[in-house]
């Protein structure tokens, strides 16, 4: 499993336990929750700076046009894994130093709590597939060779 500047919780943990690392306001408090509570979106005005701060404007526009509501249930759930199953899955993490959605301190706290076989660092935002695609591809190719 490759976590790309993503939430990676250990067994027994839930997303709210990481709110101390949100900077300065928890990301979950910025969401616009649907009337039925099943999904949420982010306010459009904060999306470019939060998720695509290093990306070219054309890529930001294309990305925003493809955004869809995100289910809220996974954010509220406590993770439950076992050493016998998930513990045997090889993990790698690609951290992004300028990520404003998942700050680097939070990424590193998750890596410390759920160690990975390999950790790569990219000096970019939350969306390296737009802002640093060649560097991201190089890291993924390194993983595929191991």
Question: Alpha carbon of 129 to those of 46, 51, 121: distances in Å?
Answer: 19, 11, 14
The whole model's pTM is what? Answer: 0.89
18 versus 33: the higher-pLDDT residue is 33
Q: Is the pLDDT of residue 109 over 90?
A: yes
Strand order in the sheet with 39-41: 32-33, 39-41, 70-71
Phi/psi for 17 (5° steps) reads -70, -15
pLDDT category at 23 given cuts 50, 70, 90 is: low
Phi/psi for 66 (5° steps) reads -100, -5
**Average pLDDT for residues 12-25, to the nearest whole number?**
77
Report the run of H or E that residue 126 belongs to, with start and end: none
Q: Is the pLDDT of residue 19 over 80?
A: no
**Average pLDDT for residues 96-110, to the nearest whole number?**
94
Burial of 56 (0-12, 13-18, 19+ CB in 10 A): exposed
């Amino acid at each position: 499993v490759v976590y790309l500047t993503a939430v990676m919780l250990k067994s027994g943990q839930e997303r709210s336990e990481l709110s101390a690392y949100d900077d300065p306001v928890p990301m979950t408090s910025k969401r616009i929750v649907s009337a039925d509570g099943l999904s949420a979106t982010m306010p459009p005005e904060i999306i470019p700076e939060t998720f695509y701060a290093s990306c070219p404007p054309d890529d930001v526009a294309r990305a925003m046009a493809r955004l869809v509501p995100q289910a809220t249930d996974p954010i509220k759930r406590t993770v439950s894994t076992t050493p016998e199953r998930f513990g045997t899955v090889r993990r790698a993490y690609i951290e992004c130093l300028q990520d404003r959605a998942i700050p680097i301190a939070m990424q590193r706290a998750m890596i410390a709590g759920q160690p990975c076989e390999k950790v790569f660092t990219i000096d970019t935002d939350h969306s390296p597939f737009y802002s640093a695609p060649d560097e991201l591809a190089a890291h993924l190719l390194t993983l595929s060779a191991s």
